[in-house]
Amino acid sequence: MTAPGPGSLYWRYAGDRRALLLLGRVGLLELMFPALGAGVVEHSAFYTEPWARTLRSIPRIAGVVYDGPAAGSTAHGIRELHHGITGRDDQGRRYHALDPEVWFWAHATMFDAVLQIAEVFDRPLTEAEREQLYAESVLIYRRYGVSDRPVPGDWAEFHAYFERVCAEQLELTPAARALLAFVQRPETMAQPWLPAPLWRLVAPLVGRVLWFLTRGLSPPVVRAKIGACWRPVDQQRFVRFAAVVARLWPLLPYRLRYLPRARVAFARTKTGRDNRQSWGRRRSVPFADARSRSGG
């Protein structure tokens, strides 16, 4: 298989701004992994500027997919930034960001986000499409030049690996606790857009939305580990919300639907705008069934 490009599933979904709806899920999955959580706390501006840190990371990661001949260089640049991220977590366990087990879990959360954009907010994928999307994600991972040792061989193996890590390795680390505090009380979270007085006014609403999305999108085993309540009525509301997003998303302006790095790549490769608009068409597969098969 060649590197993902025009016509690939990864190309279709990795630059979709609906990924922003998944920030709570991705953040928890990463920060509950002890080595990742410790590295973020000790070697980044997580506590002082969490939004800015996230918004700096998203374009770089998108570049590994969309930078064409320069994608390998983009990936190597990201890897080089992590050479010095090493230490011990709060339990005294040693970690290094470039440990293949650690690096692959970070990549797995990115692949999982791409999968969820499709399965939850666009359309359920077939088993063949899941296999294709996972195979494409492995090619993206290899651009970083980190060992393939922990990489599952196919989609079924990845699905089992993902569930096993969620059940057996994820913990409520100090970093995860801090993220949950930010999500539930966003007025405590530094943000670069609004003056502080205005932010304090709108933050409670933002917090309710963030907490709802974080609970709804988190795998059930993770939801249990963070002690989050999720009632049948919450699930019904979430299903309706996801259906509205799927229906309205293709109607938004093109520049709002895709990250700048993706739009540049689409223009460079002359990916037709009509084809991109057709990507949002849904098949008549029950949403709840898609959620159960995608691990959410």
* 188 closest CA partner among 48, 21, 26: 48
- The per-residue DSSP string of 258-277 comes to B-HHHHHHHHHTT--HHHHH
Tokens representing 39 are: 């590295």
The pLDDT assigned to 121 comes to 97
The pLDDT assigned to 281 comes to 45
Q: Which residues of 92-102 are buried (b: 16+ CB within 10 A; e: fewer)?
A: eeebbbbbeeb
The pLDDT assigned to 293 comes to 40
CA 206/CA 186 separation, integer angstroms: 7
253 HSE (CA, 13 A, CB side): 2
Residue 125: CB atoms within 10 A of its CB come to: 21
- If you ran DSSP here, which 8-state letter would residue 99 be given? S
CA 273/CA 270 separation, integer angstroms: 9
The pLDDT assigned to 133 comes to 97
CA 144/CA 163 separation, integer angstroms: 24
Which residue in this structure is represented by tokens 């998203």?
58
Which amino acid, one-letter code, is at 114?
V
Which residue in this structure is represented by tokens 């440990």?
99
Helix or strand or coil: residue 140?
helix
Residue 79 parent element (H or E): helix 71-81
- 93, 34 Cβ separation under 8 angstroms: yes
Enter the pTM of the model.
0.88
Reading the chain (296 residues) residue by residue, the pLDDT tens digits are: 557 888 899 999 999 999 999 988 999 999 999 999 998 888 876 666 666 666 678 888 999 999 999 999 999 999 998 988 999 988 899 999 999 999 999 999 999 999 999 999 999 999 999 999 999 999 999 999 999 999 999 999 999 999 999 999 999 999 999 888 887 777 777 666 777 777 778 878 888 888 999 999 999 999 999 999 999 999 999 999 999 999 999 999 999 999 999 999 999 987 645 444 444 444 433 333 334 344 44
